[in-house]
Amino acid sequence: MCCALLLVANAVQADAPARVLTGYVSRVMDGDSLVLRSAGGDIELRLAEIDTPEKGQPYAENSRRALQGMLLGRRIRAEVLERDRYGREVARVYRLPEELWVNEELVRRGHAWVYRRYVRDPHLYEVEREAREQGRGLWALPEAEREAPWKWRKAHPGPARRDQAASISSRRSSSNGSRTIVHRSGVAAASRRSAAEPPSHTA
């Protein structure tokens, strides 16, 4: 009994957000990353547990526009889970005031894949399966054009890395020029990854 309670407690702790942020979305860069404008400054967020097509892939712009339509100028709450290798806060994002879980909604509408390597909520697999069966969003594309983003990045490491680094460098330069503060405080990583996996998101 004690062991069971300990396992449950550990599971809850692993999914507990390191911190919670609120503010307005001032920019959407692609289908799974955005800038949150809070009282403390601009914070780059990467949506947790999902992955959207990269620039150069079919449906990449569709995913970006979908997220933009859902969140640009809207107030959100972000439950930060960890920080990725690019300095972005990886978070579950909820649109206020209706508390719409945006990460899940993007999968539901067929604008995003469940990110197999980093998913924490298995319910998202069922949401993706339904979107796939209904042919929503990217699932309406021919099968040959529906390559998982993480597989595409592995096959195109040069362009994907350069685009990501250039995009983030540009955003930070722009922020510095306008005297915008970007948070860089520490965030305790909470993850269920295996030891063989890298320490943070790659895109």
Q: What CATH number did the domain enclosing 145 receive? A: 2.40.50.90
Whether 88 is in a domain gets the answer: yes
Whole-number pLDDT of residue 153: 95
Whether 3 is in a domain gets the answer: no
β-sheet bridge partners, residue 30 = 33
Return the C-alpha torsion angle 61, 63, 67, 69, nearest 10. Answer: 60
Whether 96 is in a domain gets the answer: yes
Whether 8 is in a domain gets the answer: no
> In whole numbers, what is the pLDDT of the chain averaged over residues?
81
Percent of the residues in the chain that have a pLDDT greater than 70, as a whole number: 70
Q: How many domains in the chain?
A: 1
Whole-number pLDDT of residue 201: 53
Whole-number pLDDT of residue 182: 35
Position 160 confidence tier, pLDDT thresholds 50, 70, 90:
low
Whole-number pLDDT of residue 24: 98
Structure tokens belonging to residue 177: 């020029």
**Helical ranges in 76-134 per DSSP H:** 102-108, 123-134
Tens of pLDDT, residue by residue over 183-202, are 333 333 333 333 333 334 55
Residue 79 has pLDDT above 90, yes or no: yes
Q: Which domain holds residue 92?
A: 17-177
pTM of the model: 0.75
CA separation (Å) from 32 to 46, 70, 122?
A: 6, 12, 19
Residue 118 has pLDDT above 70, yes or no: yes
* Positions marked catalytic: 46, 54, 88
Whether 44 is in a domain gets the answer: yes
Residue 47 has pLDDT above 90, yes or no: yes
Please tell me what DSSP assigns to residue 182: B
Query: What mean pLDDT do residues 114-143 have?
Result: 98
